[in-house]
Amino acid sequence: MPQIVSSFLRKNPGIVVSVAVHSPERVWSLVASGQCDVGLARPQAGFAAVDDELLMTTEAVCVLPRQHRLRSKRSIAAQDLRGEPMIAASPSAPHRSRFERILDEAKVEIKTVAEIQYSMQRCALVAQGLGFSIVDPIVARDFASSKIVLKPFVPRLEIATMLLLPSQRPRSRLALQFCDLLRAETAQYRKSARVQA
């Protein structure tokens, strides 16, 4: 988001951009009611006044404290996490329920020590050595530091991000330009992710 906002402001001097972080349900609600021009959120059902587009799908990563016993593994599976403390996503997060199903199928029990809605805050707690977390790789990559390591989680756990626009009003030139920048940045991320793989 910082790169996108920066590029947008350079192209449109004098414009004021307001960026707010809310729960997915709140983002969908704000877009549906026309209170914001563009939204980014996880998929939700039941919002008829929103035009949604799948912006991108990423594969969740396991974030570990830098000195964790699993730090040298190439990837992390459910069995590796048996008994480990977890900083979990909020109960309403779609990928949390899918992750818990994976644990159930593998008959693996973990210890949830905290439930935190936002990935960045979960990464911060991992950096403090409080446990592992399963997060969106984009956020984890931006938070990567000497205190955490990122590992692919297997089996694949996809996290979808939707681009949302209000369907009850015309789109402004600026809103459409912002959406184009989001799509371009997403395409660049996918390209760089393929190169790194």
DSSP letters for 56-94: EEEE-EEEEETT-TTTT-SSEEGGGGTT-EEEEPPTT-H
Q: Are residues 135 and 165 in the same domain?
A: no
The pLDDT tens digits of the residues spanning 19-59 come to 998 888 899 999 999 999 999 998 888 888 999 999 999 99
- Expressed as residue numbers, the domain containing 96 is 61-156
Q: Are residues 152 and 66 in the same domain?
A: yes
Q: Are residues 69 and 151 in the same domain?
A: yes
Q: Are residues 69 and 131 in the same domain?
A: yes
Q: Are residues 69 and 132 in the same domain?
A: yes
Residue with tokens 């789109």: 171
The pLDDT tens digits of the residues spanning 143-186 come to 767 789 999 999 999 989 999 999 988 899 999 999 999 999 98
Q: Are residues 66 and 117 in the same domain?
A: yes
Confidence of residue 194 (pLDDT cuts 50, 70, 90): low
Distance CA(28)–CA(22), nearest Å, equals 10
Distance CA(176)–CA(166), nearest Å, equals 12
pLDDT at 35: 93
* Burial per residue of 30-44, b for 16 or more beta-carbon CB atoms within 10 angstroms, e otherwise: bbbeeebbbbbbbeb
pLDDT at 76: 97
Q: Are residues 188 and 123 in the same domain?
A: no
Q: Are residues 45 and 121 in the same domain?
A: no
What value does the mean pLDDT take over residues 89-93?
A: 85
CB 72 within 8 A of CB 163: no
First to last CA, the chain: 23
Q: Are residues 87 and 134 in the same domain?
A: yes
Q: Are residues 151 and 166 in the same domain?
A: no
Q: Are residues 19 and 34 in the same domain?
A: yes
Report the number of distinct structural domains present in the chain: 2
Q: pTM for the whole thing?
A: 0.83
What value does the mean pLDDT take over residues 88-96?
A: 86
The pLDDT tens digits of the residues spanning 57-69 come to 999 999 999 999 9
Q: What is the CATH number of the domain that holds 67?
A: 3.40.190.10
Q: Are residues 89 and 147 in the same domain?
A: yes
